[in-house]
Amino acid sequence: KRLMRYAAFLAPIAGLQYEGKKGKASSVVIYLLGDRLKLPKRDAERVDLILSVALEYQRLVGDWGEGGVPPPPKTHAGAPSAAAQQQEGADEADGTTHEGSSASQRYRRVDLGLILRKAGHLWNASLMVAMAGAIGRVTPSSPSHTQPTTPPLSGPPPAVPLHSSKHVISSYRAVKEAVEWFGLDGVWDKGPPLDGNAVKSVLPKLPKGPKFKEVMDEQVVWMLGHPEGTADECRAFIKERFADFA
């Protein structure tokens, strides 16, 4: 709760960065909490994480709409769901399906799952902060309740207007229900189907470094999109996807 209070207070500057040492972009939130208020570094970083994930939830709710589930967007420059879109395209290309799982469901599960893996145990705190920020942008005096009083935390506004506080709550409740429905609670603790040694046995020419990390990340995306998938199926996937290293 203490971290959520800090996050709610600093929500207007979520995502704001400044040029730090050696020209490196640094978080203003971490600077204010850590350097100025002298909070423990871990607390400052967790507040920054809550706000960072809150921005992603707001983007996701804008995509999903009121209590609904959207079709995969065709383009969304800079969106964190790029991996989800890539997985959806791969599934459509190879016809991979599992019982009760459509391509659009896989896209949504991957998109939400990646957010939860980033947030970890703070996923619900981030969701509440995101919802509170959205409610604060509803204009009670407006007959249509469509004009926000303040801009979003940062970035473009949601794709779907938030017409009322009830609308906002319904939209964010749908996200929480999706976490339960997709069985994603605790997904941040789940490792990829194949460990490093197994990956090397499938892709013996794969070099260490960024490319190796890319393969491990692709496994996570595949795992989120195929919750019933087996290690053998994942092995076949990466062997085909990264055939140059087989």
Q: Can you give the residue ranges of every domain in the chain? A: 46-185, 191-246
Taking the C-alpha atoms of residue 171 and residue 138, their distance in angstroms, rounded to an integer, is 14
| pLDDT exceeds 70 at position 153 | no
3-state secondary structure of 18: strand
Paired with 199 in beta bridges are none
Place of tokens 């016809």: 95
Give per-residue pLDDT as tens, 30-83: 999 999 999 999 999 999 999 999 999 999 998 886 444 443 333 232 344 445
Residues contacting residue 5 through CB under 8 Å, at least 6 positions apart: none
Rg (CA), the chain: 20
3-state secondary structure of 69: coil
Q: pLDDT category, 146, cuts 50, 70, 90?
A: very low
Place of tokens 């204009």: 139
Query: What are the backbone angles phi and psi of residue 64, rounded to the nearest 5°?
Result: -75, -40
Output the pTM of the full model: 0.77
- The per-residue pLDDT for 168 is 86
Q: pLDDT category, 140, cuts 50, 70, 90?
A: low
Which of 107, 129, 131, 127 lies closest to 118 in space, CA to CA?
Answer: 127
